[in-house]
A = this chain, B = another copy of it.
Amino acid sequence: MTHLQILKSPVELSLSDYAMSGEPIVNQIRLLRDVSGIFINQEALSDLNPETPVYSVQAWLPVQEGTPGGLFFGVSTIMSGKVDNEYFMTKGHFHAKSDRAEFYWGVKGKGMLILMDRDRNTWAEEVYPGSLHYIAGEIAHRLANTGNENLVVGACWPSDAGHDYEQIASSGFSARLLEIDGKPQLFETES
């Protein structure tokens, strides 16, 4: 009988903080200056260091973006912070291939997953260690950190989903997550 190979996968996760390691991992960081346009109070921004990290993403993209049938796996870390009373958050996006879904799951910290459908109805789901979120196709999604430590969220999405950041960059979400009376509240900004 022939012995066959027992290998190690090229990627590991630290289960405590979901840090990803291994040669194929790609890393991306977004500073305040990269995402300044997403916050409502532009005046308050000028008091903050534009080099402040707002969020980072690690991902394993084992196939080329756009490949049908493949999957990507990533970890988003949103730092704790606010611009005036608006929490640090991700830019948010629809998927370019817009029926593609995504799973998010909370690993550390606390926050909100802000969701908006194509009719611009916005709502949110609480993110906390162990919360599991199904983001259906056609739903824009954004993460905000409402706590005092990093918010860490695992993610898995189709390799042909792509990202449509444009629509959110130009029209935003129809609601803002603000800290009012010490707690996060979601306010509609369109009537």
Contacts and interface: CB of A to CB of B under 8 A. Distances in A.
Interface of A: 1-9, 11-15, 20, 60, 62-63, 68-71, 73, 97, 99-103, 105, 107, 112, 122-126, 129-134, 136-137, 156-159, 175, 184-189
A124 B13 CA distance: 19
Given A130-B13, A134-B71, A158-B69, A122 B4 contact: yes
B129 A20 contact: no
Copies in the complex: 2
A101 B132 contact: no
Contact of A8 (B6, B129, B131, B159): B131
Contacts of A185: 3, 6
Contact of A103 (B20, B63, B123, B156): B156
**Chain A interface mostly:** strand
A70 B186 contact: no
A126 B5 CA distance: 10
B20 A132 contact: yes
Given A6-B126, A15-B129, 5 more contacts: A3-B185, A8-B125, A9-B132, A13-B131, A103-B156
Given A8-B131, A60-B134, A1 B71 contact: no
A4 B124 contact: yes
Given A124-B5, A159-B101, A15 B130 contact: yes
B187 A1 contact: yes
A15 B17 CA distance: 11
Contacts of A8: 125-126, 131
